[in-house]
Amino acid sequence: MRLAALAVAALLALAGCGGSDAPKASTTAAAKPPLRIGTKNFPEQFLLGEIYKQALEARGFPVELKANIGSSEIIHQALTDGALDMYPEYVGVLLSEVANVRARPRSPDAAYRRAQAFEAARGFALLAPSPFSDQNALAVTPAYARRHHLRDIQDLKSVAGTVRIGAPPEFQTRFEGLVGLAQLYGLHNAKARALAIGRQYAALDSGRVDVAAVFTTDGQLANGRYVILRDPRGVFGTQHVAPIISRTALSRYGPRLRAIIDSVSRRLTAPAMQRMNAQVQIDRRATADVAGEFLRGQGLK
Amino acid sequence: MTRAPQGSRLVRRTLRTPITTRVLLLSATASVLIGAVMVVLIVAVTAQRNAARSAFRSQEALAAGNQLEKSLITIENGVRGYVASGREKFLDPANEALTSYPGEVRRLISLVDDDPGQQARARDIGGEIDDYVTLWARPLIGLARTRPAAARSVVITNGGRERLDTIQRDFASLFARERVVINAREDRAEMGSARAIAIGVGGLALVLLVAAGVTLYLRRSVVRPVVTVADATGRLAGGDLSARVPARRHDELGDLARGFNAMADSLQRSRDQLEHSNAELKRSNAELDQFASVTSHDLQAPLTTISMYAELIERRHAADLNGGMALVDGIRGATQEARTLIRDLLEYSRAGRGELALEEVDARELVARALEALAGPIEAAHAHVNVRADLPVVRVDRAGVCRVLQNLIGNAVKFSVAGRPPEVEIGAGRDGDMWRLWIRDNGIGMDPKDAERIFEPFKRLHGEEAYPGTGIGLAICERIVAQHGGRIWVTSRLGEGSEFSFTLPGAEA
């Protein structure tokens, strides 16, 4: 696989140039300042943060987790400012909302390379991506779909009046939001209603909104209570998760850090993610417990 | 008289509880007490001061926390204003607050450093503020510069408000806790000052009590016994040898009392002995005088008889004796001498005894009578007598003093240097509350070392052939003067004359 080869190449390169640092890293890791990991403002991110944190701590790397910072716009700025060392980002969102790439990449691989190049140019590294992809999507209740004969996003145009979309505030200004919907589908009768992430299902149920912007790995989608509108024109890109980390942090902690993070990322499959999301969002289990259980199951803790 | 116990045994040192030790112990106890009160007082005042100081610190901590909260609100409002309007001027107060807040956090943490729980809270708040600034305020400002629309969409999520709410809740709990601490400290400070005052008053009372106790104790056990001994000493000095003090105590004062009693005992013994020997002496003197008087008197009769027989022999048998007449003259001469001696002896033994017929007499009259009696010898010696005009009136026995003057003036005329007519001068002067009469001559004088001896009976410095006399005259003078309460003495140098002085009571005495 090209991706894996690339990761290995990067690893080797790092090992080559930071060879002298390698022995030091293992002996003095504990004395170094903790690795500051940030997460965005929704449950899946909290889970990812806990998983990386616990995996690194199990190997003796000190970690400071700064959970619930905010949307990509602000957390990426914080990373750029040096307030964070690393955070897990969705490749598609990174490209469309941060790198401002409007053209939809041909493949997940292409998207990843593009994103990697973007981060490398600003002094950051994009680590190995997760197998799962948590795409953005638009969901409606089955009743609403039946009433307006909805199958894909295109069908929303024919809905009479305004289509109220419950979404995080940034939906208003994002390409993967009203901007892209208008450009690719000509959807001009939609209005975004800002909601905290996770509240959109309740708003949908109560009829305060007609459509909800959701993540495809959301636990609430598991039991068929909602219908996902198809996205034939691909306004929502694939969203594999890859941690963005500063070069400074990478060289400070040595290649072992990257190896651990990559080995975690590679085990984040779609079923595993959806199961963990459901445990947190529906079963109301503690994020840290769910993350720890997953790592133990994978032999990473 | 019973034998007095040995002084050394009585005045032995008592080691059981010497007064020095007791006074020392007492002062030490008092000092320790006062010291303890002082220490407790200092501790109380220090505690009170510390409590007040830390209460003040807590107030400062509250103020610092409020300032920090204000800074945060300034930052949030500035950021929001900037994001909404894109105008940099909204950022000015925020930038100022962004610069000042780390110092304010440090100040808050240092102000609550006396309470570990509070300090942990303050540190947590500091961390939250850092997160708010580095993960929210600064990135948002950066985002607003490059992508204002995206920044506006982020502001809508109210992430900053949520963080600030959390921080403000933590502040509220810090403040609540600090207020509790302040109240506790103020209570403690108040209690501490009340306690310090109570301890101060109590300590003062205790010190006064101890001082009063020590004074009373010293009065009772030191001053009073000493005063008793001093009183007894005064009585003893006044002649009351029966003065004694109680000596039951077993300390230095007991030793003092026993020493005093031993001394008084010893004094009384000495006086008793002295009185006894005085009485003995008087008795033997009297016996001796009596003996001399009786003997002299009894000897006079046979001597008169011998003298009479010698005269009869001379008158009736002068023709028969031929050359034997010289022997009869010898008997007569010796008999006359013995009679003179006995007369003088009688006079001496009488002198100074019996009542004095005291009267006020002008000394000039006495001197005149003496000179009259001595008119013959003065004439014979061609002596010149000069009597000073300022002689006093004295209160004396007229006959006795006449006898003294006659004797002394007679001596002055008699002991003259051959070929030098005697010059005698008589005068008087004050001698304390007595009058001193003096008789000065230009006679043969005497060695000063003989000046004392000449007043003893029958003491003569010269042979009878040179200067006739029995040698008892001055002894008689001494007795008469002594009986008047005066004294007699001579100052003289050999060959340069003498000056005899004697003192007599004045008329005014």
Of A265, A215, A278, A218, nearest to A11 by C-alpha is A265
The dihedrals phi and psi of B438, each to the nearest 5 degrees, come to -135, 150
- A278-298 pLDDT, tens digit each: 999 889 999 999 999 999 999
Q: B136 and A69 in contact by Cβ < 8 A?
A: yes
pLDDT for A31: 66
3-state helix, strand, coil in chain B (%, to 5): 70, 10, 20
pLDDT for B245: 87
* Beta bridge partner(s), residue B436: B429, B503
Q: What are the chain A neighbours of B136 within 8 Å (beta carbons)?
A: 69-70, 74, 78
Q: Please determine, for residue A12, whether its predicted confidence score (pLDDT) is greater than 60.
A: no
In angstroms, what separates the C-alpha of A64 from chain B's closest C-alpha? 12
Question: Hey, is the C-beta of A120 within 8 angstroms of any chain B C-beta?
Answer: no
Q: What are the chain A neighbours of B131 within 8 Å (beta carbons)?
A: 66
pLDDT for B438: 95
Helix segments in chain A, DSSP class H: 2-17, 21-28, 43-58, 72-81, 91-93, 108-121, 142-148, 180-185, 200-206, 247-253, 255-266, 270-281, 287-297
State what percent of residues in chain B have pLDDT above 90: 36
Residue of A nearest to B163 (CA): A69
Measured between CB atoms, which of A66, A73, A83 is closest to B154? A73
- B162-192 pLDDT, tens digit each: 889 999 999 999 999 888 888 887 887 788 7
Q: What are the chain A neighbours of B147 within 8 Å (beta carbons)?
A: 73
> To which residue do tokens 């009679």 refer?
B339
**In this structure, what DSSP letter does residue B221 have?**
I
Q: Which helix (H) or strand (E) holds A86?
A: strand A86-90
pLDDT for B156: 82
Helix segments in B322-374, DSSP class H: 325-350, 363-373
Q: What are the chain B neighbours of A71 within 8 Å (beta carbons)?
A: 153-154, 157
Question: Hey, is the C-beta of A196 within 8 angstroms of any chain B C-beta?
Answer: yes
Q: Which tokens hold the place of A101?
A: 């790439």
Residue B82 makes CB contacts below 8 A (sequence gap 6+) with B88, B90, B91, B94, B141, B144
Q: Which A residues 37-56 touch B at CB under 8 Å?
A: 38, 41
Question: Hey, is the C-beta of B165 within 8 angstroms of any chain A C-beta?
Answer: no
Residue of A nearest to B134 (CA): A83
SS3 A126: strand
Whole-angstrom distance, CA of residue A164 vs CA of residue A280: 27
Q: What are the chain B neighbours of A68 within 8 Å (beta carbons)?
A: 159
The dihedrals phi and psi of B71, each to the nearest 5 degrees, come to -60, -45
pLDDT grade, residue A13 (50/70/90)? very low
**In this structure, what DSSP letter does residue A27 have?**
H
Whole-angstrom distance, CA of residue A204 vs CA of residue A211: 7
Q: A74 and B153 in contact by Cβ < 8 A?
A: no
pLDDT grade, residue B509 (50/70/90)? low
Give the global pTM: 0.56
pLDDT for A23: 39
Whole-angstrom distance, CA of residue B472 vs CA of residue B475: 5
pLDDT for B396: 92
**Burial tier of B43 (Cβ tally within 10 Å: 0-12, 13-18, 19+):** middle
Q: What are the chain B neighbours of A168 within 8 Å (beta carbons)?
A: 157
Q: What are the chain B neighbours of A78 within 8 Å (beta carbons)?
A: 134-136, 138-139
Residue B463 makes CB contacts below 8 A (sequence gap 6+) with none
pLDDT for B241: 84
pLDDT for A238: 85
The dihedrals phi and psi of A208, each to the nearest 5 degrees, come to -70, -25
**Burial tier of B484 (Cβ tally within 10 Å: 0-12, 13-18, 19+):** buried
Whole-angstrom distance, CA of residue B181 vs CA of residue A208: 49
Measured between CB atoms, which of B131, B143, B157 is closest to A77? B143
SS3 B339: helix
Measured between CB atoms, which of B134, B142, B153 is closest to A170? B153
Mean pLDDT to the nearest integer, B436-456? 90
Q: A73 and B135 in contact by Cβ < 8 A?
A: no
pLDDT for A29: 45
**Burial tier of A134 (Cβ tally within 10 Å: 0-12, 13-18, 19+):** buried
In angstroms, what separates the C-alpha of A148 from chain B's closest C-alpha? 30
Measured between CB atoms, which of B135, B150, B159 is closest to A173? B150
pLDDT for A15: 42
Q: Which B residues 68-127 touch A at CB under 8 Å?
A: none
Backbone Cα Rg of chain B: 60
Name which residue leads in pLDDT, B215 or B458: B215
Q: B135 and A194 in contact by Cβ < 8 A?
A: no
Residue of A nearest to B142 (CA): A77
Q: Please determine, for residue A250, whether its predicted confidence score (pLDDT) is greater than 50.
A: yes
- B19-64 pLDDT, tens digit each: 778 778 888 888 888 888 888 888 878 877 887 888 788 889 999 9
In angstroms, what separates the C-alpha of B160 from chain A's closest C-alpha? 9
Q: A66 and B138 in contact by Cβ < 8 A?
A: no
Q: What are the chain A neighbours of B157 within 8 Å (beta carbons)?
A: 41, 70-71, 168-170, 194, 196
- Average pLDDT of chain B is 86
CA–CA distances in Å: residue A280 to residues A37, A45, A46, A196, B455: 20, 12, 10, 17, 147
- A14-39 pLDDT, tens digit each: 444 433 343 344 444 446 899 999 99
- The Cα angle at residue A101 between residues A99 and A103, in degrees rounded to 5: 165
Q: B142 and A80 in contact by Cβ < 8 A?
A: yes
Backbone Cα Rg of chain A: 20
- The Cα angle at residue B200 between residues B195 and B203, in degrees rounded to 5: 115
Q: B139 and A78 in contact by Cβ < 8 A?
A: yes
- B7-31 pLDDT, tens digit each: 445 455 555 567 778 778 888 888 8
Q: Please determine, for residue B393, whether its predicted confidence score (pLDDT) is greater than 50.
A: yes
Question: Hey, is the C-beta of A97 within 8 angstroms of any chain B C-beta?
Answer: yes
* Beta bridge partner(s), residue A90: A241
Q: A73 and B134 in contact by Cβ < 8 A?
A: no
